[in-house]
Structure 1
Amino acid sequence: MKYDVVVVGGRLGGSTSSLFASKGGLDVLMIEKRQEIGTPVQCAEATTNETFNILEIEPSPKYLCTDIKGVDFYAPSGKHFRVKGNNMYGFMEGYVLERKIFDKQLAIESAKAGTDIMVKTTVKELIRKDGNVCGVVAKHLGKTVEIKADIVIAADGLESNIARMAGLKTVNKTEDIASCAQYEMVGMDIDPNYLQIHHGAKIAPGGYLWIFPKGDGVANIGLGVINSKETAIYHLNKFIKKFDATPVELNIGGVPLAGPMEKTYSSGLMVVGDAAGQVDPMNGAGIQNTVKCGRIAGEVAVEAIENEDTSSKYLKKYEDQWRSAIGKTLETSLRYQKIFQNLKDDDFNVLAEFLEGKNVESISKLSILKFLKNYPHLITLLFNVFILKQ
């Protein structure tokens, strides 16, 4: 077999890359190791309105669970405050999705654009010629197949095998990966239009817990922990005891929080999504970033094939463009993620006490300085993380 582009991974990054490469007229094959695209669920399923602008598709009621208008932040003390709209760094208006349906629908859109798809297929090695990646060797339903391609796009998730095969540095340190667990639960009495974020060393050490409503009393309840003595599922099981609700699904996994790889391309290869570390380090969100970078990878692939140049020098365009689009945001997020990791429960309690019941947009600089004069390390967070419109 011979294609212009082979995309390894059939989730968001892979389907988006395939979609835009196919729209550009390329012959594209997308390979997915699982027998069904979209399962298991690998995130809390919330994203922003901008995701659909990037994809150039209209959101569909097929996979939209509920509209999100803002976030309720809870301190260990139980005090909480609400941030509406797009005023909290990293959290914006949008939707909670049914990812099983959304991911598959995006793959369907890619197929409609011309992408060939092979499920239940695992890449065993890369094909190289004169140092350039030019295809893959894969196992499909028990048979080994050689698939040649001018470009390979690696969208194969955390600890990408493809990037590592290509010689790119992909190894994350243990302390850079949040261990996550999530239940989908039925019988939750919560506001269907607001996400909940809970902080506290006893709730989610080094991370946070989320409750994302999906409508009709259904919600995702999950958490991520870093360097915790106990497992993520231990902390999650402890937290959900307070609810009279029933779990109907459990998902466990990891999220890279160290920021992107140093280099996300080589001759004949580009790396996208979790595989490239393009996840927001502060909140773990990855859907919008992944589709943005996936689109860039697909469009750069089109340009490279048209110009008959798939060299490392040419494909650097991909890295230049995605870093221009989200690089500064990821750097800022990583900086504040490190600050948040060092906050104590008392710090979160002080923030919640100050912000509870207030309209975040209307808080004056003077009132911040007056209240937090004994907590100078929190002033920076209020001015920069909570994007106050002064």
Structure 2
Amino acid sequence: MSKMKYDVVVVGGRIAGSVSSLFASRGGADVLMIEKRQEIGTPVQCAEGTTPATFETLEMKPSKRFVASKIDGADVHAPDGRKFQIAGENSKGYILERKIFDKDLAVESAKSGTDIMMKTTVKDLIIRDGKVCGVVAEHMGKSVEIEADLVIAADGVESRVAKMAGLNTTKLPGDIYSCAQYEVVGLNTPPNWLKFYFGEEIAPGGYAWIFPKGKHRANVGLGIRGSNKTAYSYLQKFMSQFSATPVELKVGGVPLSGVVSKTFTDGLMVVGDAAGQVDPITGGGIHLAAACGRMAGEVAAEAVEVGDSSSKFLKKYEDIWSEKIGGNLETSLKYRRILDKLTDKDINIIVEFLETQDFEAISKLAALKFMGKHPNLLKVLKEIL
């Protein structure tokens, strides 16, 4: 078995992993990022939407190389066909080409000094006296032992690496939304406007979406929960109303149960989908993966500099992300649990109200007056407000 030594080993080469590697390398750490696939950026398992905050975090400008379209707002469709619009500064965003964006992040990380190993799978952790001290991996059919001061687990939903370290990343079946998406061509949809569709017949327990990518291309997909039918079968039914040609099918799962109970231990931090750092309402994780990846990378570099990768020191990472985004994630999780309680009839009533309102300027008094006419919704409204 061959042996290697690094300050930091990052497991996973998507956004959370590449950003962690990038900022750890910029901070002076000797970093190795390992990726189980032969190419970073594929397969795409994402609707590819993100916010301007992603680029602020990365200190980079949106590039035509990987930005497919710029978004100004969205239509939200109720089960009965009603809709309301969301617009304004808080609604602006981008649809990315993840295959290009993810690889560009890896390239930037490499330029900053990160070494990268493809086709490499973690088989075990090196643990001494209860502390993670590296990984045992398989690279191109050969075993390699990689010692490190600390490991960053960015290996996706239900992180195997975090579990090996004794952290609980297990999700209940109801915590994972099953998603299916086509990238299509020939769809006549506004190039700068998202569309969301709710309804038990469309996407039980979730919603469907259309994310435009310009030049009559779009991502058309949905996420479901609690159904004995597949997300793909619902996608086929949803697609039947459009005249468009699929050119790529993407499937996967999204964790919407909130962040795992602990995102660090001696010698290890967990980031991105592996940590459940995904918005429980939208399922969006790109901006959160970038933000938490930067925090993890910066803390990793600091840990290497001071020579302390103990649990006591790495708790700093959890303290930072909890302060910066923890409150928003907790609020989104509460809203998602409220949304879970709503029937199609409830959603129709709410959209009936919202379609006549300025979404970003709704007064509590106006909302209370409307909901007061619907006793079944009043309790829900009080929880939200």
Q: Shorter-normalised TM-score: what interval? A: over 0.9
Segment of structure 1 superposing worse, 360-369 or 374-383 = 374-383
Q: CA deviation at 1:337?
A: 0.4
Measure the CA separation in 1 of the matches of 2:379 and 2:323.
Answer: 25
Contact 1:300-1:317 within 8 A present in 2 as well: yes
Measure the CA separation in 2 of the matches of 1:76 and 1:379.
Answer: 20
2:268 alignment counterpart: 269
Contact 2:371-2:381 within 8 A present in 1 as well: no
The 1:383–1:101 alpha-carbon spacing in structure 2 relative to 1, beyond 3 Å, is: farther
Deviations 1:152-196 (A, max 9, x none): 000000011100110111110001110111110111111111111
Deviations 1:302-352 (A, max 9, x none): 111111111011101011111111111111111110111111111111122
Contact 2:110-2:116 within 8 A present in 1 as well: yes
Structure 2 counterparts to residues 351-362 of structure 1, below 5 A? 351-362=350-361
2:104 alignment counterpart: 105
2:302 alignment counterpart: 303
Report the secondary structure of 2:249's partner residue.
strand
2:366 alignment counterpart: 367
Measure the CA separation in 2 of the matches of 1:344 and 1:29.
Answer: 48
The 1:64–1:377 alpha-carbon spacing in structure 2 relative to 1, beyond 3 Å, is: farther
Measure the CA separation in 2 of the matches of 1:361 and 1:316.
Answer: 36
1:204 alignment counterpart: 203
Report the secondary structure of 1:242's partner residue.
coil
Contact 1:82-1:357 within 8 A present in 2 as well: no
1:65 alignment counterpart: 68
- Of the candidates 63, 76, 81, which is equivalent to residue 78 of structure 1? 81
AA partner of residue 78 (structure 1)? G
Q: CA deviation at 1:239?
A: 0.6
1:129 alignment counterpart: 128
AA partner of residue 260 (structure 1)? V
Contact 2:183-2:220 within 8 A present in 1 as well: yes
Report the secondary structure of 2:240's partner residue.
helix
Contact 1:18-1:110 within 8 A present in 2 as well: yes
Measure the CA separation in 2 of the matches of 1:376 and 1:3.
Answer: 61
Q: CA deviation at 1:381?
A: 7.0
AA partner of residue 284 (structure 1)? G
AA partner of residue 205 (structure 1)? P
Contact 2:14-2:40 within 8 A present in 1 as well: yes
- Of the candidates 39, 54, 60, which is equivalent to residue 36 of structure 1? 39
AA partner of residue 314 (structure 2)? L
Q: CA deviation at 1:232?
A: 0.5
- Of the candidates 36, 55, 58, which is equivalent to residue 55 of structure 1? 58
AA partner of residue 67 (structure 1)? K
AA partner of residue 26 (structure 1)? A
Report the secondary structure of 1:195's partner residue.
strand
Contact 1:368-1:379 within 8 A present in 2 as well: no
AA partner of residue 49 (structure 1)? P
RMSD: 1.6
Deviations 1:340-368 (A, max 9, x none): 11111111111222222543245444433
Measure the CA separation in 1 of the matches of 2:366 and 2:311.
Answer: 53
Measure the CA separation in 1 of the matches of 2:255 and 2:17.
Answer: 18
Structure 2: state its 5+ residue gaps: none
Deviations 1:215-262 (A, max 9, x none): 111110111111112111111100100000011000111011111110
1:177 alignment counterpart: 176
1:17 alignment counterpart: 20
1:286 alignment counterpart: 285
The 1:363–1:175 alpha-carbon spacing in structure 2 relative to 1, beyond 3 Å, is: closer
Contact 1:151-1:269 within 8 A present in 2 as well: yes
- Of the candidates 3, 8, 14, which is equivalent to residue 6 of structure 2? 3
1:27 alignment counterpart: 30
Measure the CA separation in 2 of the matches of 1:284 and 1:362.
Answer: 24
Structure 1: state its 5+ residue gaps: none
Deviations 1:39-79 (A, max 9, x none): 01011000000100001111111000111111110001111
Structure 2 counterparts to residues 187-202 of structure 1, below 5 A? 187-202=186-201
Q: Are 2:237 and 1:238 aligned?
A: yes
2:254 alignment counterpart: 255
Contact 1:122-1:138 within 8 A present in 2 as well: yes
Report the secondary structure of 2:94's partner residue.
strand
AA partner of residue 173 (structure 1)? L
Percent sequence identity over aligned pairs: 61
